[in-house]
Amino acid sequence: MRKAPKRPESFRQEVYLCEEVSNDINESGHNVVQTVFAQCGAFYRADGPEEMRCVGETDFVHGVAAMSRSGLYGDVRLSTGIFSTVDLRPGAAAEPVVEAQLAASANFRGIRSAFPSDLNDQFLEGFALLDKYNLSYDNWSPDYARLPTLAALANKFPEVTIIVNHLGGQIDPTAGEDDIAEWRRCIDAVAACPNAVIKTGGAQMRIGPWEPAYHMHQADAPLGSEAYCELLYPFYSYAMGAFGPNRCMFESNFPVDKECISYRTLWNLFKRIAAKAGLSESEKTAMFSGTAARAYQLQAP
């Protein structure tokens, strides 16, 4: 086993591969059986056509999935679903890149990318490729004011699963009531789209220079799951009410959230949220596995 790199004081874990994620899961005590890889711009090809370089990420992650299937890292199966990226702005010209991503891994399920504010025809022509190839669309922006435009995009492609990341934008429990009301309005806009689902998580990360009050740089000691639940439950509860539990999925967002919370504490937080919300067994199944399995077309490992 290779030695893990020393963590700098301003820690953001840069090495998080098969061994690291497996260790976090195995040491957590939670019943995590498979994971989905989220686009992060890693392992792009160093040469070849510029638009094709992103396929290197899928190539690499497919190898991580193969390592995990060996069983040498525990029972969990990593990256049984993969979403990486394709630049859809060139329109139909993006089709060879989509096909290359599909060829790179049988686990490829969709993309994460930004969208233009004007939803121009050329971008929409590219987006139609997701419909053609039965792929999902993940989107993340800290600016939740973009969610109504995402809703407009979702309505243009009702057969494409739209996956709203990280509770829809920057989550700040100390924000003013006007800001929180605007976040709710934007959540309602995209929740009205039946083909949209939301990842309820990702609230423990810094965004650019902004850091939540409970970030490792701000707090004297890490918070426990009970304290996190007290702080963040209003956001989770609202998203769950807007989308319904059957269109919500808990997410780890690791290793980004690792700056604030351990893997064990994070999933304890989610269990507390589920209990506080009084979710039924079927609703808990949806939020802990079912919605993700449906959105990313996952099979039992």
- Burial category of 66 from C-beta neighbours within 10 Å (exposed 0-12, middle 13-18, buried 19 and up): middle
* Cα dihedral sign, 116-86-53-17: positive
State the pLDDT at residue 203: 92
73, 181, 187 from 200: Cα distances, Å: 27, 18, 12
Place of tokens 């799951």: 225
Predicted model pTM? 0.95
Q: Quote the DSSP letter at residue 158.
A: T
**What is the average pLDDT value for the chain, to the nearest integer?**
95
Which residues, listed in sequence order, are joined to residue 164 by a DSSP beta bridge?
A: 139, 198
Q: How much is the average pLDDT of 9-22? A: 78
Residue 5: pLDDT above 70? no
Res 110 pLDDT > 50:
yes
Q: Is the pLDDT of residue 94 over 50?
A: yes
140-301 — its CATH code?
3.20.20.140
Percent of the chain past pLDDT 70, that is, above it, reads 96
Q: Which two tokens stand for residue 155?
A: 């309505």
pLDDT band at 13 (very low <50, low <70, confident <90, very high): low
How much is the pLDDT for 12? 59
pLDDT score at 214: 83
Q: Give the pLDDT score at 26.
A: 98
Tell me the DSSP string of 208-233.
Answer: TTB--TTSTTT-SSPPPHHHHHHHHH
What's the DSSP call for residue 286?
A: I
- pLDDT (tens digit, 9 = 90+) per residue, 67-91? 999 999 999 999 999 999 999 999 9
Q: What is the mean pLDDT of residues 111-132?
A: 99
The boundaries of every CATH 3.20.20.140 domain in the chain are 140-301
What are the two backbone dihedrals, phi and then psi, of residue 82, each rounded to the nearest 5 degrees? -135, 125
Contact 225, 214 (CB under 8 A): no
227: nearest Cα among 176, 172, 268: 268
Give the C-alpha separation, 39 to 71, whole Å. Answer: 24
For residue 6, what pLDDT is reported? 42
Nearest to 129 by CA among 165, 102, 164: 102
Greatest extent of the chain over all pairs of C-alpha atoms, in Å? 53
- Residues 51/78, Cβ–Cβ less than 8 Å: no
Q: What is the percent of the chain with per-residue pLDDT over 90, rounded to a whole number?
A: 87
- pLDDT mean over 253-281: 96
d(CA 129, CA 110): 11
* Closest to 171 (Cα-Cα) out of 145, 144, 191: 144
Range 38-42, long-range pairs (CB < 8 A, 24+ positions):
38/83, 38/112, 38/138, 38/253, 39/83, 39/84, 39/85, 39/111, 39/112, 39/138, 41/85
The confidence band for 8, taking pLDDT boundaries of 50, 70 and 90, is: very low
Q: Is the pLDDT of residue 10 over 50?
A: no
pLDDT, tens digit (0-9, with 9 covering 90-100), for 182-224 = 999 999 999 999 999 999 999 988 888 888 888 878 888 889 9
User: Hunting for tokens 């991580």 — which residue is that?
Assistant: 64
